[in-house]
A = this chain, B = another copy of it.
Amino acid sequence: MIEELSKEYDIHVNSQRKSDLDEWVAHYRSFAIEGQTANYIPALRNAHLSQLGITILEPGGTMIKSGDWEVPFTLQSISKVLSFIAACLGRGISYVLERVDVEPTGDAFNSIIRLEMHKPGKPFNPMINAGAITVASLLPGDSSQKKLEFLYGLFENLLGKRPTINEEVYQSEWQTSHRNRALAHYLKETNYLESEVEEALEVYLMQCSIEVTTEDIALLGLILSQDGYHPVRKEQVIPKKVAKLAKALMLTCGMYNASGKFAAFIGVPAKSGVSGGIMALVPPSARSGMPFQDGCGIGIYGPAIDEYGNSVAGSLLLKQMAQEWDLSIF
């Protein structure tokens, strides 16, 4: 698919927007020093702090790229959107939502307090770790391999290629994932986990270790922006209802416990990962004559993250774009 993109899509078709982007990327790259790489995952520590790259895809066939757009990185929490969609496809929305709620929390992504405070401990949403581990256990298949196969199938269906796993990152997370194990065992005890603990963790950490570039996540964002319609393959690959649900979750819970600030000051559905990726999207808009009126998908990579876990430079770049181009959905 990505190869087809290069064929089908006109790169840099709008020179004004391209030059704006280049300028902003150069500018915000320097802000990365205010953040740091995710040092609790050893294999992520060595990313180049000042990298910043972006890909924007429009449904009509325009592609804009700037900076380090081609640097590979792992999905991390961005995969939570993908696995939530996969679980809804495989088990049905209502089945999934009986086991995980869709409420934002204001808590850190790895918090365990709310599970105990709100008996009986249903995870608050699929974008925090407790919810994502639960969702991983809900994927169809009675083994971690089958669950992953189902997830990889969706990935291939959307992006036209098999996912690549960054084994070093996976091993690194597997060794150090004590907090996630604590969450998983807690969920096992309260009966929200539909598999063994180690199985759910394997699925969850493997999905986190899928390697992508900004191009890949821009395409994912684009498909969601089009309510699940794939503009390259020209077919509905995700049911509209599931796509809308995923976008609402991205807006209310996608940027960790800075999601409210993102909704307020940027105003587009987005999901970040501690590797520094941000998958964002703009739905089609009524603002005739405005940029990206038919919607677009946005992939950003900038590995220095802030206290919440969001890319420092990536967030600033997205904010600049949203303000200059009036992208807010509100």
Residues of A within 8 A of B (CB): 101-107, 111-114, 116-117, 124-125, 178-179, 181-186, 188-189, 197, 244-245, 247-249, 251-253, 257-261, 263-265, 267, 269, 283-287, 293-295, 328-330
Contacts and interface: CB of A to CB of B under 8 A. Distances in A.
A65 to B, nearest CB: 25
B330 A261 contact: no
Given A251-B263, A260-B101, A185 B189 contact: no
Nearest first, the 8 A-B pairs at minimum CB distance are A178-B189, A103-B260, A284-B286, A104-B104, A182-B185, A247-B330, A181-B185, A182-B186
Contacts of A124: 106, 260
Contacts of A182: 112, 181-186, 189
Contacts of A116: 111-113
A159 B113 CA distance: 41
Nearest to A281: B330
A94 to B, nearest CB: 11
Nearest to A40: B189
A257 to B, nearest CB: 6
A51 to B, nearest CB: 28
B103 A259 contact: yes
9 contacts: A101-B260, A101-B261, A104-B105, A111-B116, A179-B185, A179-B189, A182-B185, A245-B265, A283-B329
Contact of A197 (B107, B178, B287): B178
Contacts of A269: 330
Contact of A252 (B125, B184, B259, B286): B259
Contacts of A328: 244, 248
A174 to B, nearest CB: 13
Contacts of A287: 284
A308 to B, nearest CB: 10
A2 B299 CA distance: 46
A96 B183 CA distance: 26
A294 B288 CA distance: 12
Contacts of A293: 286
Contacts of A295: 286
A306 to B, nearest CB: 14
Contacts of A102: 260-261, 263-264
Most chain B CB within 10 A, of A114, A181, A183, is at: A181
Given A263-B248, A267-B248, A257 B103 contact: yes
B112 A112 contact: yes
Contacts of A185: 178-179, 181-182, 185
A17 to B, nearest CB: 19
Given A116-B112, A244-B267, A330-B283, A103 B261 contact: yes
A301 B182 CA distance: 33
A259 B185 CA distance: 28
